[in-house]
């Protein structure tokens, strides 16, 4: 028994050959239908041609669905959707949080917060998150298709007391079964001058169809915003007003 899903794993060249074959057979069936309807007047072959046309149209319908799925499941499509999530969805989540009601901000703590993309590749992006006073943290997002990894690059000065400083943020993530782990102090290699930062890793699981579901993308982007903002505010308070 032929498993339909196995057609998805055909190479692009093999899928083109199948498409050409189905196209040729459909053309041949239509040609026979026209010939035996107008010229030869053979009722049996005409009926057979009609059945063949129906058969190959049905086959093309099924094959079209397979081609659409294979296209959405291709490496290039996954890269394109990953970059769109990193460059559009995440910044949009940060920008949406600054929407004001009248002349008053939704949350005064969001005033002056700005997000900027520093480095980007096909699978990962580094962002700078800063406020009007110049206080800055960086975070790194990487998609592994089934999960999203976020590395928070926080000030190194209060790192020895990180459990107390980020207690509520860490507890929230752990209570919601989100993987979070302190990674220690590392250099930021994408800055012009060497800069050491205390790194916390957050890993959120996503579904296999995450990149093709707008609701899931919006939800994850807002989760990333919430995580980054929470650690940013606590780091700023600890850095500017140390215990």
Kindly report, residue by residue over 141-154, the tens digit of the pLDDT. 998 878 999 999 99
Domain count, the chain: 2
Report the pLDDT value the prediction gives residue 212, as an integer from 0 to 100.
81
Tell which wins on pLDDT, 243 or 18: 18
* pLDDT of 41: 62
**Same-domain check for residues 59 and 154:** no
More confident residue, 35 or 195: 195
Q: What is the mean pLDDT of residues 211-227?
A: 90
Asked whether residue 62 falls in the same domain as residue 100, the answer is no
Taking each helix axis from N to C end, the angle separating 12-38 and 43-72, rounded to the nearest 10 degrees, works out to: 160
Interval 123-142: pLDDT, tens: 789 999 998 888 889 999 99
Q: Which residue has the higher pLDDT, 239 or 42?
A: 239
Contact 27, 49 (CB under 8 A): no
Domain co-membership, 65 together with 126: no
Do 152 and 226 reside in the same domain of the chain? yes
pLDDT of 46 reads 64
- The answer to whether 117 and 126 have CB atoms below 8 angstroms apart is yes
Task: State the chain's mean pLDDT as an integer.
Answer: 79
pLDDT at res. 107: 65
Residue 185 reports pLDDT greater than 60: yes
Say whether pLDDT at 2 is over 50: no
The verdict on 119 and 108 lying in the same domain is: yes
Share of the chain above pLDDT 90, in %: 24
**Do 200 and 155 belong to one domain?**
yes
pLDDT at 10 over 60: no
Cβ atoms of residues 31 and 39 within 8 Å: no
DSSP string covering the chain: ---GGGGGGS-HHHHHHHHHHHHHHHHHHHHHHHHHHHTS--HHHHHHHHHHHHHHHHHHHHHHHHHHHHHHTSHHHHHHHHHHIIIIIHHHHHHHTT-EETTEES-GGGTT-EEEEEEE-SSEEEEEEE-TT--EEEEEEEE-SSEEEEEEEE-STTGGGHHHHTHHHHHHHHHTT-EEEEEEEEE-TTSSS--EEEEEEEEEE--TTGGG-HHHHHHHHHHHHHHHHHHHHHHHHHHHS--
- Whether 123 and 87 have beta carbons less than 8 Å apart is answered as no
- pLDDT, greater one: 68 or 204: 204
Q: Say which residues have a Cβ less than 8 Å from residue 222's Cβ, sequence separation at least 6.
A: 93
| In the predicted structure, residue 159 carries a pLDDT above the cut 60 | yes
For residues 89 and 194, state if they share a domain. yes
Alpha carbon separation from 148 to 144, 199, 212, 227 (Å, rounded)? 6, 16, 15, 13
Residues 198 and 128 in one domain: yes
- Of residues 88 and 49, the one with the higher pLDDT is 88
121 and 29 share one domain:
no
pLDDT of 119 > 80? The answer is: yes
27: pLDDT strictly greater than 90: no
**Do residues 28 and 127 share a domain?**
no
Domain that holds residue 48: 4-73
Q: What CATH number should be reported for the domain holding residue 221? A: 3.30.1460
Residue 104 main-chain phi, psi, to 5 deg = -110, 135
In the structure encoding, which two tokens stand for residue 221, read together? 């982007």
Q: 42 and 96 share a domain?
A: no
């Amino acid at each position: 028994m032929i498993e339909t899903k196995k057609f998805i794993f055909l190479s692009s060249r093999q899928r083109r050959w199948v498409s050409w074959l189905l196209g040729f057979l459909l053309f041949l069936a239509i040609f026979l239908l026209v010939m035996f309807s107008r010229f030869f007047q053979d009722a049996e072959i005409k009926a057979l041609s009609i059945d063949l046309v129906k058969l190959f149209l049905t086959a093309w319908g099924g094959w079209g669905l397979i081609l659409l799925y294979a296209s959405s499941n291709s490496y290039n499509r996954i890269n394109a959707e990953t970059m769109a999530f990193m460059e559009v969805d995440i910044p949009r989540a940060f920008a949406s949080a600054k929407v004001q009601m009248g002349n008053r901000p939704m949350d005064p703590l969001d005033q002056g917060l700005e997000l900027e993309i520093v480095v980007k590749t096909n699978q990962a992006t580094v962002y700078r998150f800063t406020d009007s006073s110049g206080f800055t943290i960086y975070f790194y997002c990487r998609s592994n298709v089934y999960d999203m990894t976020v590395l928070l690059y926080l000030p190194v000065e209060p790192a020895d007391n990180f459990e107390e400083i980020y207690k509520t943020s860490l507890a929230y993530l752990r209570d919601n079964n989100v993987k979070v782990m302190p990674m220690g102090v590392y250099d930021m290699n994408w800055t012009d001058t060497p800069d050491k930062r205390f790194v916390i890793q957050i890993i959120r699981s996503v579904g296999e169809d995450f990149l093709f579901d707008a609701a899931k993308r919006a939800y994850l982007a807002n989760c990333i915003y919430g995580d980054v903002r929470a650690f940013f505010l606590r780091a700023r308070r600890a850095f500017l007003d140390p215990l």
